[in-house]
Structure 1
Amino acid sequence: MVKKKRFANWILDVGDGNISSAVGDESEVEISDYLLITTTDDPLSHLVDFIYPNLLQNMSDYMYLQNRTILAPTLESVEKVKNFVLTIFLGMKNEYLSSDTTYQADENEDVQQEWFTPKFLNDIKCSELPNHKLTLKPGVAIMLLQNIDQTLGLCNGTKLIVNKFGNNVIGAIVVTSRNIGNKVYIPRMNLIPSDSGLSFKFQWI
């Protein structure tokens, strides 16, 4: 608890500009040694080991997952961490591919569907959607990106452990929120990102 409070106070100080120094047009923040992983031979492996020690042995411990997470600054970094963690798990990979199409909305009524090839749509990456190819293994943790059923605790940010795979559905166990331990099924669904950086609408299935 003391370490968490110390870290929280440090984050607040960074946000308030209390511990930064100006270097030209940028701000420089000194990070304390206790927050650093100093090994450099394989930094990603050491990061995962630091946050998730004995990962495979503790995956059935819900509190173990509730108290740990890795935050990354970019989607590219998220993908690197995800791909590395997948190599730790045993079992066969299960791959799910999305079917992306343009979505006819009022603000893009002049958009012609043929302008956007499937490859172009499949390569779009944004924080509101999974990648075109979703690769999973039994036992891996996933997080919902949409509200599905609040009564079952299936809300944006809910963590689950995958345990079953179907053609259009994924079976999982809830490991956060008030419904810890519930077995649920996540179906394939239509998602329409609201990313303001896109000049058109498309739907992910």
Structure 2
Amino acid sequence: MSSYFSVDIADDFPDLVSDQLTSFPLEYLNSIAIPGLPLHELRVKVGVVDMLMCNLNQTLGLCKGTRMKVTRCLDQYIECEVIAGQFKGTKYFIPRVELCQTETRLPFKFCRKQMPLQDCYAMTINKAQQSLENVALFLPKRVFTNGQFYVAVSRVTSPRA
């Protein structure tokens, strides 16, 4: 297992950089967890399926939500292989990219430079906006509406049980 640590910045803060560090220590910035941004410490293991968290290159199939299997962990990059869709089997190097989040309750623009990946053990029906070879449905005790069932089943390429 490899760990990758982010570089976090409190951007658009009106004071000097030294005042920023006093007001927002690195430990505080590193502890911030915002939906849509990768964690400060990204733990990656070869063979695990991860999902891309942002669009890197849409023409090459590197779109938000693309599922990829980690094939190699390098110092500055993670090598991944796309596991579904038109680009299945294609390998890419995923670099660190700067992702900023302004729609938060923080008094500053928060930017994190990290590999835009997150573990993808399971996904919601809405995230699975591509055709899948196999799908497993978790049907809790609460009512599962026909609309949700249709969307889940319509993503499968074969009706085998």
TM-score, length-scaled by structure 2: 0.63
Segments of 5+ residues of structure 1 without an aligned counterpart are: 1-92
Q: Which structure is higher in strand share?
A: 2
Q: Aligned-pair distance for 1:110?
A: 5.0
What's the Cα RMSD here? 1.6
* 3-state secondary structure, aligned to 1:109: coil
User: Who is 1:198 aligned against?
Assistant: 106
* 3-state secondary structure, aligned to 1:162: strand
Work out which of the residue numbers 30, 35, 40 in structure 2 matches 1:122: 30
Q: Which has the larger radius of gyration?
A: 1
Q: Which structure is higher in helix share?
A: 1
CA contact (8 A) 1:140 1:162 kept: yes
CA contact (8 A) 2:102 2:110 kept: no
CA contact (8 A) 1:165 1:171 kept: yes
What percentage of residue pairs aligned between the two structures are identical?
36
TM-score, length-scaled by structure 1: 0.50
**1:159 paired to 2:67:** yes
CA contact (8 A) 2:81 2:89 kept: yes
User: Who is 1:109 aligned against?
Assistant: 14
CA contact (8 A) 1:192 1:203 kept: yes
CA contact (8 A) 2:102 2:108 kept: no
The number of residue pairs the alignment matches comes to 110
**1:140 paired to 2:48:** yes
Structure with higher RCO (Cα < 8 A, 6+ apart) = 2
Within 5 Å, which residues of 2 pair with 1:2-151? 93-104=1-12, 108-109=13-14, 112-114=19-21, 115-151=23-59
* 1: CA distance, partners of 2:38 / 2:87: 24
